[in-house]
Structure 1
Amino acid sequence: MAGEEPSAPGRWAGVPLTDRPAERRALLVDAAYELFGTGAEAAVTVRAVCRHTGLHSRYFYESFADTDQLLGAVYDRVAEAAGVEVTAALAAAGADPVARLRAGMHGVLGFSSADPRRGKVLFTEARTNPVLADRRYAAQLALMEGVLQEGGRTRPTIDPRLAKVGAAMFTGAMVELVGQWLAGNLGDDLDAVVDHALELLLAGLLAPALGG
């Protein structure tokens, strides 16, 4: 029950009072991630997350104004983890622009599908939720900016308009590619999907903007 948290006196044993709000917040985010990732937006209610955590509803409102704000925190956590993984993949790829492009695509697709809940949070579910929609749009802009930076490192004299067009097209293509991959429409061979995508990108109109 949502109001049963005080009946477990040992739950917070050893946790300083000043640290408990952050601990409770993390529990709520964990619960929302599980409920959203295995169900849908409608599964993330105050009652449901409190029942899942065993926390009283007052502790929900200690951290979040509503479930939209909670979903935003879920997205932020998953997006941060994705950023860490993709950044590490780019670093491992070295300076070669083609290798970095492949590593970036592989990192995004691989991270999103390694745990189906991740893809639902980052890309596919609750498309009309304003909090998630805003964050996803901001993530697309960040991706486009990253593509521009990558292109600028290898093609510093490229026409800025061409670079922006190429980056915008690549960003849109990546979002659709991820969606199709998560839906299972591209098979189950991640390396093959990335290789095909890379081949098409480098052979097509995006090549100049991507440094190809």
Structure 2
Amino acid sequence: MSSPTRWAGVPLADRRAERRASLISAAFDIFGGTGPEAELSVRSVCRHCGFNTRYFYESFTDTDELLGAVYDATAAELAEVVADAMAAAGPSVRARTRAGIRAVLGHASQDPRRGRILFTEGRSNPVLVERRAATQDMLFQLAFAESDPREPDPLPAKVRAAMFTGAMAELAQQYLAGNLGDDLDRVVDEVVETLLPSRRASA
């Protein structure tokens, strides 16, 4: 367990923030790994960090709250990666769409723990269902933001964004399961062509 001297000279707020981050990282490793969900316990997380269990309750009331924090951190990281990729793609709707799709699939598949937390357990785990809805809303807003603001009726753009959001969740699930092969660029090309056929693309 953690030595009292480990935190010597560190301000209390910084100590707590560091311990909280360590607990989230440990839970990410345990829950996002290949072991059964039951392995995520106060004891297993603290053992992973080398903490006394009292440090767990300093930041979280139970493992459900910790798991929610893990999902939030993973989703926030994904949102940042997607936003950065789309911004770097320039003004072309087609290029931005491609960059966004590739960012979602690429980021989730680079580390299997991310994909499991966001797109596998997020579909069925009762603790994560509500948070998954928030991630879906984030993708919806990103997709809707790509619509032409000059359109007098926003409904068609909202419908497209909703269809894109639902399709992305299933696409990620299938890609991470290995059902679409391992050629990421080809998968992304097929998705973009389905969403924005070349003959109709205006950008």
Aligned counterparts, 1:11-160, within 5 A? 11-38=6-33, 39-125=35-121, 127-153=123-149, 156-157=150-151, 159-160=153-154
Q: In the alignment, which of 175, 178, 181 is matched to residue 169 of structure 2?
A: 175
CA distance in 2, matches of 1:200, 1:40: 37
- Give the aligned CA root-mean-square deviation in angstroms: 2.0
1:190 aligns with 2:184: yes
CA contact (8 A) 2:32 2:112 kept: yes
CA distance in 2, matches of 1:152, 1:191: 26
Kindly provide the amino acid, as one letter, of the partner of residue 19 in structure 1: D
Q: Map Cα deviations across residues 54-88 of structure 1 (whole Å, 9 max, x no partner).
A: 11111111100111110111111111211221111
Task: Flag structure 1 segments of 5+ consecutive residues without an equivalent.
Answer: none
The 3-state SS of whatever aligns with 2:169 is helix
CA contact (8 A) 1:41 1:126 kept: no
Q: Map Cα deviations across residues 5-36 of structure 1 (whole Å, 9 max, x no partner).
A: 3xx24322342233111111111101100001
Could you tell me how far 1:134 is from its partner in structure 2? 0.7
User: Could you say if the C-alpha distance between residues 102 and 41 of structure 1 is closer, same or farther in structure 2, counting changes exceeding 3 Å?
Assistant: same
TM-score by length of 1: 0.88
User: Could you say if the C-alpha distance between residues 201 and 158 of structure 1 is closer, same or farther in structure 2, counting changes exceeding 3 Å?
Assistant: farther
Mean Cα deviation higher: 128-137 or 8-17: 8-17
Tell me the matched-pair count. Answer: 201
CA distance in 2, matches of 1:42, 1:127: 17
Could you tell me how far 1:158 is from its partner in structure 2? 5.3
User: Could you say if the C-alpha distance between residues 118 and 13 of structure 1 is closer, same or farther in structure 2, counting changes exceeding 3 Å?
Assistant: same
CA distance in 2, matches of 1:183, 1:152: 34
The 3-state SS of whatever aligns with 2:124 is coil
CA contact (8 A) 1:40 1:126 kept: no
Mean Cα deviation higher: 64-73 or 128-137: 128-137
Q: After TM superposition, what 4+ stretches of structure 1 lie above 4 angstroms from structure 2?
A: none
Could you tell me how far 1:169 is from its partner in structure 2? 0.9
CA contact (8 A) 2:123 2:132 kept: no
Task: Flag structure 2 segments of 5+ consecutive residues without an equivalent.
Answer: none
Mean Cα deviation higher: 77-86 or 8-17: 8-17
TM-score by length of 2: 0.91
Q: In the alignment, which of 190, 193, 197 is matched to residue 203 of structure 1?
A: 197
Could you tell me how far 1:40 is from its partner in structure 2? 3.9
User: Could you say if the C-alpha distance between residues 126 and 84 of structure 1 is closer, same or farther in structure 2, counting changes exceeding 3 Å?
Assistant: closer
Q: In the alignment, which of 157, 160, 164 is matched to residue 158 of structure 2?
A: 164
Could you tell me how far 1:126 is from its partner in structure 2? 5.4
